[in-house]
Amino acid sequence: MTKVLMVLTSHDQLGDTGRKTGFWLEELAAPYYRFRDAGWDVTLASPKGGRPPLDPKSNEPDFQTDQTRRFEADADAEAQLNQTLRLDSVSADDYDTVFYPGGHGPLWDLAEDESSIRLIQRMFATEKPLALVCHAPGALRHAATPDGKPLVAGRRVTGFTDGEEEAMGLTQVVPFLVEDELIAKGAEFDKVGNFEPFVVTDGLLVTGQNPASSAPAADQLISLVTRTGR
């Protein structure tokens, strides 16, 4: 059985705004059920372990989907979410693939978390597929090759765009802009219109632009894992 680790943020403060943030529910729920329905074994982890913070905006009526409602009605899924593993307790070697949902939280913690950086680098080193969606590609910012070069240098990627951040009114709130940061690290950043689904696959790296890209990114990851025989 394919084992997938889903890595969620533990950060709940939206900068100095006094507002809450966290993970984006659709970006957990849609991939979660893609993986479960494919027969995969799903494990959830976060830097602090336990129940990770949900971005409250992601559970407003306008952002709810069939999959978010399915997740919230699923006692087993909610039990898993209540008991995420501490990220520093997991090993990349125990999983066939890793998926990072977004939300603004990852920009503060996962992008700087040493356990997350090591996990990403180990996935690359062992040639296992890795997917990150929306703001989560920001977690690639400090990941490096053994010779110290940015992992994303020369790779095609996508993620939450400057235009999308501007549309959210958070350009001056976030610690960095995903698009600008990945380009600064030498990546070739591709994108489509604001909030349209878009996924980029470069080798074993899958990135999705925004919440609408989370299910398609999961589908790409499943296809990649199947092709590589994991």
Residue pLDDT, tens place only, 151-174? 999 999 999 999 999 999 999 999
* Cβ neighbour number for residue 197 with a 10 Å cutoff: 15
**What DSSP line would sit under the chain, residue for residue?**
--EEEEE-----B-TTSS-B--B-HHHHHHHHHHHHHTT-EEEEEESS-BSPPB-GGGGSGGG--HHHHHHHT-HHHHHHHHTBEEGGG--GGG-SEEEE--SSGGGTTTTT-HHHHHHHHHHHHTT--EEEETTGGGGGTT-B-TTS-BTTTT-EE--S-HHHHHHHT-TTTSSS-HHHHHHHTT-EE---STT---EEEETTEEEESSGGGHHHHHHHHHHHHHHHT-
Residue 141 lies in domain? 3-228
- Looking at the DSSP bridge assignments, the partners of residue 6 are 44, 99
Contact 23, 15 (CB under 8 A): no
pLDDT in tens, 83-116: 999 999 999 999 999 999 999 999 999 999 999 9
pLDDT in tens, 51-71: 999 999 999 999 999 999 999
pLDDT in tens, 27-47: 999 999 999 999 999 999 999
pLDDT in tens, 207-218: 999 999 999 999
**The total number of structural domains that make up the chain:** 1
**What DSSP line would sit under 182-222, residue for residue?**
HHHTT-EE---STT---EEEETTEEEESSGGGHHHHHHHHH
Task: Specify the CATH number for the domain of residue 195.
Answer: 3.40.50.880
Phi, psi of 89 (to 5 degrees): -100, -5
Averaged over 129-144, what is the pLDDT? Answer: 98
Percent of the chain with pLDDT over 70: 100
Residue type, 134: C
> Which residues fall within 8 angstroms of residue 97, CB to CB, at 6 or more apart?
2, 3, 4, 5, 123, 128, 129, 130, 131, 221, 224, 225, 230
pLDDT of residue 228: 83
Task: Measure the CA–CA gap between 5 and 41, rounded to whole angstroms.
Answer: 9
